[in-house]
Amino acid sequence: MIVFGSRGSDLALTQTRQVAQRLLAATGEQYRIAVIETTGDRVLERPLDAIGVKGAFTVELAEALRAGRIDAAVHSLKDLPVEAPPDLTIAAIPERADPSDVVVATATAIADGEAGLPLRPGVRVGSSSPRRRYAVKHHRDDLDLRDVRGNVPTRVQKVARGDYDAVLLAAAGLDRLALDLGALQRRALPTAAFPPAPGQGALAVECRSDDARVRNLLSQLHDESAARCVQAERALLQGLGGGCSLPLGALVQPVGAAFRLQAALFCDSGAGLWCDRTTHDLDGLVQELAALWAPLLSRPLRGLRVALPRPDGRGGALAEALTFAGADVEALAWTRTEPVAADESRVHALCKAAALAFGSPRAVERWFAVAGARAGDGPRTTFAVGDGTAAALRSHGVEPGVSDGSGGEAMAAMVCQALAPGRVVGYPCAADRHDGFERAMQAAGREVLPLPLYRTSAVARPPAPAATPHVVLLTAPSLAAVFAASADLRDVPCAAIGETTAAALRAAGIQPAVTAGRATPTAVALCLMELHHERPSTSPA
């Protein structure tokens, strides 16, 4: 006989019963379930992140294990603190259920034409999760976000009776309960836009570390593949020093012999840091990401005003990362992108090429616009520089190889390593591109077919910032001349991304205050920290 401890909610009891019955089927071991009330079950009048207890749904179960009142406890893994006590152990992580988030809403609140979160503007959306609330803020600032507490059936009932128009929930909980939603609608949220909590969809069966008999029994339920993925997700959470209330989404999934990590770390404004990469070195990627993101949690750029010239004035992921770090960012439309008429014979050649390489999200969008249905013809290998370019490809159903470094040289190194000599690489690109990729490929004896699809040009009258910035951040060599000609910004320090942009500034007679060696948003934010900390405390007029 094994005694399982469980919270008293419908979902907790269902999960515990399912695990116990699987154990009975696998080993013949009989079971009993003991219900234990937790702090999270008792305190319902405050949001979870305001309770102030780490492991609000797990502490009392751990105490019951230590006291010998129960032999094992079944947890939703996402509720377990990442710091494992030495006297307790996770003996089994069974096969993982659907890890994604879903929205449950009234039929009148649903708007299927809205990308990502299919809700009409202004509807009342309930969630107790800071991660979900901040993710909604990021994607939709036109929704009425409200806190909601109670177990899963209670939250669904609150929508049914009109207290809320919609609630955000874990798909796994709804599936395990097999709830009848009646007239309510359920829609899945894409994990690329709404990465789930680390470990979501997985169960953890905990027991005493020194109970060899129970550990051996529970090991019959362990799924090593699921465990590998969720352990990496929780390692990222631990590397960021966070608990269950840290607004981190992280999902690891196997992709052949590699792993894809989708992650987002949000702040209360809705700004976020993003990662979507496929790697064979999962542990290395997790460590790298934790090292990059952790310094930004303290908002080290708070108070720094950054002018960010960007094509068409769209700040993108870079502006968002700087905002997350506390900067006040103003994107400026100093340049614009214009389509270039495509050479039809070259388009046809690229559709037949063994591989395609992309250096920017704009190149991706122009390629699919020009090639149309032919863009997906035939099997080919696809490469990308940076998470933004990779995300643009994934939005078209293409899973690329993503270079670890930035710039064309890094992509060339990846292509040469992954692709056999003699195979032609198509290169949708800008007409006024930097030639680093092509030069590196030529030096390696590889053939590249460039296809110019757009160009970037300076606007006639570049707008000035609304307030004098502390720094102007330049992302491309073409912006150096515009900055040099700007009388309003003559005395403002500038920062450059990449040595090519820094060289263009020096050629224009301007010495950049700092230069970021990599083009990743987090690397740029870390570079600006140096300038921010050296800046005098007085602000410019």
Enzyme catalytic residues: 78-79, 131-132, 149, 155, 244
> What whole-number distance in Å separates Cα of residue 299 and Cα of residue 333?
26
> What whole-number distance in Å separates Cα of residue 512 and Cα of residue 494?
5
Farthest-apart Cα atoms in the chain, separation: 81
Residue 502 vs residues 360, 465, 470, 481: alpha-carbon distances, Å: 20, 22, 18, 12
> What whole-number distance in Å separates Cα of residue 64 and Cα of residue 5?
8
Secondary structure tally for the chain: helices H, strands E: 18, 23
Order of strands across the sheet with 248-255?
248-255, 258-266, 272-279
Q: Which of 124, 164, 159 is nearest to 142 (CA)?
A: 124
Cβ density class 427-458: b for 16+ within 10 Å, e for less: bbbbeebbebbbebbeeeebebebbbbbbbee
Q: In sequence order, which residues have a C-beta less than 8 Å from that of residue 471 and are 6 or more positions away?
A: 304, 305, 306, 307, 492, 493, 494, 495, 513, 528, 531
Q: Which of 499, 333, 323 is nearest to 405 (CA)?
A: 499
Please report, in angstroms and rounded to a whole number, the separation of the first and last CA atoms in the chain: 75
> What whole-number distance in Å separates Cα of residue 264 and Cα of residue 116?
15
Residue 204 vs residues 52, 80, 350, 418, 499: alpha-carbon distances, Å: 23, 8, 48, 38, 48
Q: Which of 365, 388, 385, 403 is nearest to 317 (CA)?
A: 388
> What whole-number distance in Å separates Cα of residue 215 and Cα of residue 207?
7
> What whole-number distance in Å separates Cα of residue 297 and Cα of residue 271?
12
Residue 396 vs residues 22, 138, 373, 380, 400: alpha-carbon distances, Å: 40, 22, 11, 14, 11
Q: In sequence order, which residues have a C-beta less than 8 Å from that of residue 286 and are 6 or more positions away?
A: 232, 235, 236, 239, 261
Pairing of strands 185-188, 101-105: antiparallel
- In sequence order, what DSSP letters do the residues of 25-56 get, joined into one string? HHH---EEEEE---HHHH--SS-GGGS--TTT
